[in-house]
């Protein structure tokens, strides 16, 4: 086990028990059809003991979730518990003759199609360790064959990070790799500019560091959780550009639909017409998805999402016998497939339309979230429920996409920052003791969000007593215990852990950076990322121009007016430079993040034409970012 034991004393409030009992009464949780669907075609599972990394740690082990075998504990939303049990059904499954899926062998599914000469692998999951182990399981179970092609449905790392586990490390030996247009740019770019903040927040979303236990991590909605392993990248060879493109790949016909701009900026779906199998990539899953993940992202387009699913219905539904996506279990049968696609479409269309209806009636995001009601059909159709995204969060996201973060009310044009607001509130309410009293009453009357608001003000006024922190942790945990969304639960539980124990850096976590992928960034991207670290105090009055030569690429960087701009390519070869630097990308990274000073850089082979002190100055103008900033406290 690589997750810590659950040592925190966890108070389960009576309101939590009642809430979760209410969920159990309201929803048809004993519906067994999904369990039959998820088990159908099971062939084999990973060997006992899980999948290990080279450093001795465990990349994947479904025993982490063994505790979910029994009845739902009071500390878990029973709908989430049921969904978690479905995602626990793991191993290699036959979808139909010629198509298989490995499910819960990592966060995403790996789909395997039998080609004329070898295996066509769709989505080689997030980690090399799990990807290689899955391919070994396939070869062991179905017979040894080479990998004849790889398809990556979209640009999120849980679908390609393990690619070198199935194609190896020698680019000369790579099979054809098919991706949607703009895949590489999108894969490299997402999470780069706001990388530190997004990575820190993703630790909350995925509950990194939380134990898997009845009072800890339960499920990730679209699967259990990302495997903890080595992430890689391999340059694609074949680009799919248009809906309707047909490619015969190793003897198998693939009919593609472009879905870019829905769940991911670069994404395709495909039909295998000879098998009657439709893969909707991650556009459709067995849960409501995120229009905006809590880790942060650019808001996704709910309307386009609905329209792309509708287009898939028009193009593919009459030839679809089975839907086998890149997450969760399949849908079997033509009628079920059509109903499923229609409802997956409708959950995004409903969210979009109802949010804008309420916005156009004059309501603001928090009001819309409070007023938004589930469509009636959702109580019996689990595949569209919010095990990953949630209706209220998605409604706020839709508002943000169209109208932005500002709700139109003058008081919110320039609100007080949290610490200042908190100080005023605590003062106005009569001091910490009084606010604590009010919070206690709020907890007793089960007004948990109000309790959290009061206690959060104490924390941000920097007046937190151990009692206030402990109370806030209890409130957060109980809010988490009620969540149907596995990731929203994680956010609350991670918040509770950090409010009680402070920030606990995880040493082995690294930066989350995928080195293969960083190499795919453009030079302009590299310098734009560096410019995000320019410190305005230190760059006051500075005018500096440096030309960088990196391989056969050139960049001209100018700092003036406390602002840094970059030009690359032909535009970078002309123009005044105070000094010129020849170095590698890795040296640029190390220099600009102060891991290497100029003297060390020169000794390591960096060449400077001009005054080296100017390069030293340029480096010193940039901040470095610490991943472990405070989130739940000032």
Site residues (vs Zn ion, CB under 5 A): 108, 156, 158, 282
- Quick one: 250 or 282, whose CB is closer to Zn ion? 282
What are the CA-CA distances from residue 375 to residues 147, 306, 350, 380, 385 (Å)? 44, 16, 8, 11, 11
Closest distance of CB 258 from Zn ion, Å: 18
Closest distance of CB 420 from Zn ion, Å: 40
- Quick one: 283 or 312, whose CB is closer to Zn ion? 283
- Quick one: 108 or 596, whose CB is closer to Zn ion? 108
Closest distance of CB 81 from Zn ion, Å: 22
Give me the phi and psi of 252, to 5 degrees please. -110, 135
From 84, 206, 210, select the one nearest 473 (Cα to Cα).
210
Q: How many C-alpha atoms does 526 have within 13 Å on its Cβ side?
A: 26
Closest distance of CB 315 from Zn ion, Å: 23
- Quick one: 160 or 618, whose CB is closer to Zn ion? 160
- Quick one: 156 or 363, whose CB is closer to Zn ion? 156
Closest distance of CB 492 from Zn ion, Å: 23
- Quick one: 115 or 220, whose CB is closer to Zn ion? 220
- Write the burial class of residue 461 (CB in 10 Å: 0-12 exposed, 13-18 middle, 19+ buried): buried
From 607, 544, 555, select the one nearest 581 (Cα to Cα).
607
Q: How many C-alpha atoms does 518 have within 13 Å on its Cβ side?
A: 17
Is residue 299 within 8 Å of residue 292, measured between CB atoms?
A: yes
- Quick one: 282 or 301, whose CB is closer to Zn ion? 282
What's the CA dihedral at 413, 419, 424, 427 to 10 degrees? 170
Separation between Cα atoms, residue 83 and residue 385, nearest integer Å: 10
- Quick one: 267 or 282, whose CB is closer to Zn ion? 282
Closest distance of CB 159 from Zn ion, Å: 6
Closest distance of CB 397 from Zn ion, Å: 18
Q: What residues have CB less than 8 Å from 111, skipping those under 6 apart?
A: 95, 99, 100, 101, 121, 122, 123, 279, 324, 326
Stretch (H or E) spanning 551: none
Closest distance of CB 327 from Zn ion, Å: 6
Closest distance of CB 152 from Zn ion, Å: 11
Is residue 29 within 8 Å of residue 82, measured between CB atoms?
A: yes
Q: Over the Cα atoms of the chain, what is R_g?
A: 26
Q: How many C-alpha atoms does 10 have within 13 Å on its Cβ side?
A: 22
- Quick one: 225 or 579, whose CB is closer to Zn ion? 225
Is residue 149 within 8 Å of residue 121, measured between CB atoms?
A: yes
Separation between Cα atoms, residue 569 and residue 383, nearest integer Å: 49
Separation between Cα atoms, residue 529 and residue 544, nearest integer Å: 18
Count the neighbouring beta carbons within 10 Å of the beta carbon of residue 298: 11
Closest distance of CB 627 from Zn ion, Å: 23
- Quick one: 108 or 291, whose CB is closer to Zn ion? 108
Closest distance of CB 156 from Zn ion, Å: 5
Closest distance of CB 43 from Zn ion, Å: 23
Separation between Cα atoms, residue 127 and residue 157, nearest integer Å: 9
- Quick one: 126 or 135, whose CB is closer to Zn ion? 126
Q: Coil, strand, or helix at residue 340?
A: helix
Identify the DSSP state of 212.
Answer: B
Tokens (6 digits) for 261: 């701009």
Give me the phi and psi of 43, to 5 degrees please. -120, -45
Separation between Cα atoms, residue 167 and residue 150, nearest integer Å: 8
- Quick one: 182 or 470, whose CB is closer to Zn ion? 182
Pairing of the two strands 544-550 and 579-582: parallel
Separation between Cα atoms, residue 312 and residue 345, nearest integer Å: 10
């Amino acid at each position: 086990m690589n997750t810590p034991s659950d040592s925190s004393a966890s108070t389960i409030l009576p309101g939590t028990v009642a809430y979760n009992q209410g969920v159990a009464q309201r929803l048809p949780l004993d519906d067994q059809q999904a369990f039959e669907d998820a088990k159908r075609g099971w062939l084999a599972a990973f060997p006992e003991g899980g999948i290990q990394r080279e450093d001795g740690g465990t990349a994947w082990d479904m025993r982490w979730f063994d505790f979910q075998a029994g009845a739902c504990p009071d500390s878990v939303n029973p709908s989430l518990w049921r969904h978690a049990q479905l995602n626990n059904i793991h191993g290699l499954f036959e979808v139909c003759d010629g198509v298989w899926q490995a499910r819960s062998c990592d966060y995403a599914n790996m789909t395997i199609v039998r080609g004329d000469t070898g295996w066509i692998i769709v989505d080689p999951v997030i980690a090399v360790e799990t990807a290689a182990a899955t391919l070994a399981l396939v070869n062991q179970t179905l017979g040894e064959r080479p990998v004849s092609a790889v398809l990556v449905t979209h640009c999120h790392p849980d679908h390609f990070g393990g690619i070198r586990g199935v194609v190896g490390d020698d680019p000369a030996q790579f099979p054809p790799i098919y991706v949607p247009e703009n895949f590489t740019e999108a894969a490299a770019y997402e999470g780069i500019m706001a990388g530190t903040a997004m990575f820190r927040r993703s630790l909350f979303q995925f509950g990194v560091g939380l134990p898997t236990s009845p009072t800890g991590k339960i499920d990730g909605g679209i699967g259990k959780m990302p495997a903890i392993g080595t992430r890689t990248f391999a340059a694609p060879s074949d680009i799919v550009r248009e809906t309707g493109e047909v490619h015969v790949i190793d003897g198998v016909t693939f009919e593609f639909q472009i879905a870019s701009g829905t769940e991911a900026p670069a994404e395709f779906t495909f039909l295998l017409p000879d098998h009657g199998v439709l893969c909707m990539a991650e556009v459709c899953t067995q849960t409501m998805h995120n229009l905006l993940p809590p880790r942060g992202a650019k808001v996704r387009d709910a309307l386009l999402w609905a329209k792309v699913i509708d287009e898939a219905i028009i193009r593919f539904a009459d030839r679809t016998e089975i839907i086998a996506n890149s997450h969760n279990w399949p849908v079997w049968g033509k009628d079920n497939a059509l109903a499923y696609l229609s409802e997956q479409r409708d959950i995004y269309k409903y969210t979009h339309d109802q949010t804008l209806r309420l916005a156009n009636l004059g309501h603001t995001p928090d009001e819309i979230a409070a007023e938004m009601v589930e469509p009636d059909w959702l109580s019996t159709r689990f595949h569209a429920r919010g095990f990953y995204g949630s209706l209220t969060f998605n409604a706020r996201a839709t508002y943000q996409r169209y109208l932005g973060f500002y709700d139109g009310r003058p008081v919110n044009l320039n609100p007080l920052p949290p610490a200042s607001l908190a100080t005023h509130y605590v003062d106005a309410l009569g001091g910490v003791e009084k606010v604590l009293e009010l919070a206690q009453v709020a907890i007793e009357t089960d007004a948990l969000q109000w309790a959290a608001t009061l206690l959060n003000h104490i924390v941000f006024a920097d007046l937190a007593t151990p009692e206030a922190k402990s109370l806030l942790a209890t409130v957060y945990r109980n809010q988490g215990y009620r969540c149907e969304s596995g990731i929203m639960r994680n956010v609350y539980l991670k918040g509770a852990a950090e409010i009680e124990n402070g920030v606990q850096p995880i040493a082995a976590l690294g930066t989350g950076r995928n080195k293969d992928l960083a190499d795919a960034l453009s030079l302009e991207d590299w310098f734009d990322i560096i410019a995000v670290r320019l410190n305005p105090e230190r760059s006051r009055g500075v005018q500096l121009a440096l030309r960088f030569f990196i391989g056969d690429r050139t960049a001209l960087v100018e700092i003036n007016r406390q602002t840094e701009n970059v030009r690359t390519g032909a535009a970078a070869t002309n123009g005044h430079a105070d000094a010129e630097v020849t170095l590698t990308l890795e040296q640029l990274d190390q220099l600009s993040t102060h891991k290497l000073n100029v003297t060390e850089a020169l000794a390591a082979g960096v060449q400077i034409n001009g005054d080296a002190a100017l390069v030293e100055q340029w480096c010193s103008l940039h901040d470095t970012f610490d991943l472990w900033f405070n989130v739940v406290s000032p």
